[in-house]
Amino acid sequence: MTGNIEKINQVYNTDLERHSNLNDLILTEKSAGGILATDALLWLRRALHMILRFFELVLEDGSSEELVGLLKTAYRETLITYHKWPLQLLFSMLCRMCPNRSRLIQVMSLNRSHTEASVYRDLAVFTAALRLNVDSLAAFYSEHQLECENKVPQLVAPNKVSGW
């Protein structure tokens, strides 16, 4: 996600006046035939959509202590179609590092004495705002025919590595 934000900033910094907002930046880039920020924002939106869906599932299912299943469900609903099998496998392995509900609540409360109810309340507010942003970006990409169904390119090992 950081790499995508850096790419968007890179394009933004080329003309601060013309790129007064994200929509202008993307439309200006599109008219110039560029794709760096457009592609970066597409992937950033997709990642945010997965996070959003995970948080929605956490809020919907308040009983499960283990959250790995919810994270995998969010991934299946949002990103899996854009990843080839090596990335799907990597994501599956990384899911094992997902905290349980108690640890997630602790981290979200910034290790302060916030009640679980207040963390859930704040998470619901955050999730609602994130939903508006993700949906707005999706509508913008659809309206301007910017949506791309390409998968993340598979890493290809070189045929020969010199010195080996």
Instruction: Give me the residue label for tokens 């934000």.
Output: 5
Give the pLDDT score at 157.
36
The region, left, alpha or beta by phi > 0 then psi within -120 to 50, assigned to residue 33 is left
Which residues have a Cβ under 8 Å from the Cβ of 23 and sit 6 or more positions away?
Answer: 140
Compute the distance between CA of residue 105 and CA of residue 111 in angstroms, rounded to an integer: 9
Residues 3-38: tens digit of each pLDDT: 999 999 999 999 988 898 999 999 999 999 989 999
Comparison of pLDDT for 116 and 164, the residue scoring more: 116
- The segment with the largest mean pLDDT, out of 18-32, 80-94, 124-138, is 124-138
Location of structure tokens 């609903």: 77
Mapped to the 3 state alphabet, what secondary structure does 91-139 carry?
HHHHHHHCCCHHHHHHHHCCCCCCCHHHHHHHHHHHHHHHHHHHHHHHH
pTM of the predicted model, to two decimals? 0.84
Look at residues 147, 150, 132 and name the one whose alpha carbon lies nearest to residue 26.
Answer: 147
